[in-house]
Chain A
Amino acid sequence: MKRTAILFLSLCALALSLSAQGPTNVQQTNSRLDAALLALSSHSSGATLTLTPLGSQSIYIYEIDVTNCAGASAVSAAAQTALTTTNLTGSPQWQIGSGTTAGLCVQNFVVTYPTGLKSQVPGTPVTVVLPTFATNQTVGVNVVYSSAP
C-alpha cells in the first residue's frame, strides 16, 4: 500500500515538474507588429494622396510632415490655403501660408500620432489633399500609415 502511494506521489511530482517547466515567452521583442508600413509623398500642386485600406480594414496614420518653401523667386503674398483631409473624424486641416522670401521655407512642421489616428469609416480611403500652390511655391507632404483591422 505504502509502495503504491509512493509510486503515485512520484508520478504526480514528475507530472508537475514537466508541466511547470513549459516556459511562456512574455518578453518584449525588437520586432514591432504595429510599425507603419506604408507611406505616400507629394510636392505637386492640388495633388490628392489616397490612403486605401486593405478590404474592410481601417487606415492608421502615424505621422504627417509638411514643408512649405519658395523657389528661386519669392512667393507673392496671398491668402492662406489649407491642407485638407477626408474620412478622419473632425476632418482635420492645416493652414498653409502663401508668401515668403525666395529660397526660404516658411513652414516645416510634423504631426505625430503615437498610437495612430484611425480612419472614421473602415474600408474607405483616407485622402490628404494638397492646396493649389501660389506661384513659386512648393509644399511637400509625407504621410506615414498602416492598414489594419
Chain B
Amino acid sequence: MKKLLFPAIFAAVALAQAPSSIQQSASRLDAALLQQTVAATATTLTLQPSSSQSVYIYQIDFSNCEDATGQAVAAPTYVTTTNLGGATTATSLAWVMASGGATAAGSCVQTFSVSYPTGLKSTIPGTAVTVITPTFLGHQTIRVTVTYAFAP
C-alpha cells in the first residue's frame, strides 16, 4: 500500500502541472472575419453585431468608375456612415466621390482604401454600423467594400 502511495502522489503532481501554452500562435483572434461589398446606387450596407458586441472596421475600399459612355459632369457626392466616430462627431465619416465628365469614360476616377490598423470601433455596442453609397449619376458605378469583425 505504502509502495503504491508515493507513485500515486508523484503522478498526481505531474498531471496537475501540465502546462498551459503561453507561446504565440500563428492564429490571430483579432483578424477581420467579415466583408460586405456593394456597387449599387443609394444602397446601405448594414453591419449588424449581436447585442453585446461592437463592430470593428479594419478597411474600406472605394472604386469610382464610369462606363464606356461616361457620365455627365456634376457636383461630387458622398459615401456616408452611421454609428462611427463617437458621440462628439459633428458629422459622420464621409468620403467625397467625384462626378466626372465624359473625358473619363471607361475609367475609374478614384480608387483608394482607408485602413485602421487597430480597428475603428463602433460607437454604440449592439447597434449596426451602416455605410451608404450615394445616388449614382448615369453611367457611374461606385463600389464600396468593407472589411470588419464583431467583438466585445
Chain A residues in the interface with B (C-beta under 8 A): 2, 6, 9-10, 13-14, 16-18, 20-21, 23-24, 26-32, 34-43, 52, 62-63, 65, 67, 69-72, 101-105, 108-110, 112-116, 138-140, 142, 144
Q: Which residues of A lie under 8 Å from residue B73 when comparing CB positions?
A: 72, 102-103
Interface range, B side: 35 or more
Q: How far is A123 from B6 in the complex, measured between Cα atoms in Å? A: 63
Chain B residues in the interface with A (C-beta under 8 A): 2, 5-6, 9, 12-13, 15-17, 20, 22, 25, 28-30, 56, 62, 71, 73-76, 78, 84-86, 88-101, 103-104, 109-121, 123, 149, 151-152
Closest approach, in angstroms, between the C-beta of A130 and any C-beta of chain B?
12
Closest approach, in angstroms, between the C-beta of A76 and any C-beta of chain B?
16
Please state if B89 and A38 are interface contacts (CB–CB under 8 Å).
yes
Please state if B5 and A10 are interface contacts (CB–CB under 8 Å).
yes
Closest chain A residue to B80 by CB distance?
A: A41
Q: A39-B85, A71-B76 are in contact. Are A65 and B114 (CB under 8 A)?
A: yes
Q: Which residues of B lie under 8 Å from residue A20 when comparing CB positions?
A: 13, 16-17
Closest chain B residue to A70 by CB distance?
A: B98
Q: How far is A79 from B93 in the complex, measured between Cα atoms in Å? A: 28
Closest chain A residue to B70 by CB distance?
A: A103
Closest approach, in angstroms, between the C-beta of B30 and any C-beta of chain A?
5
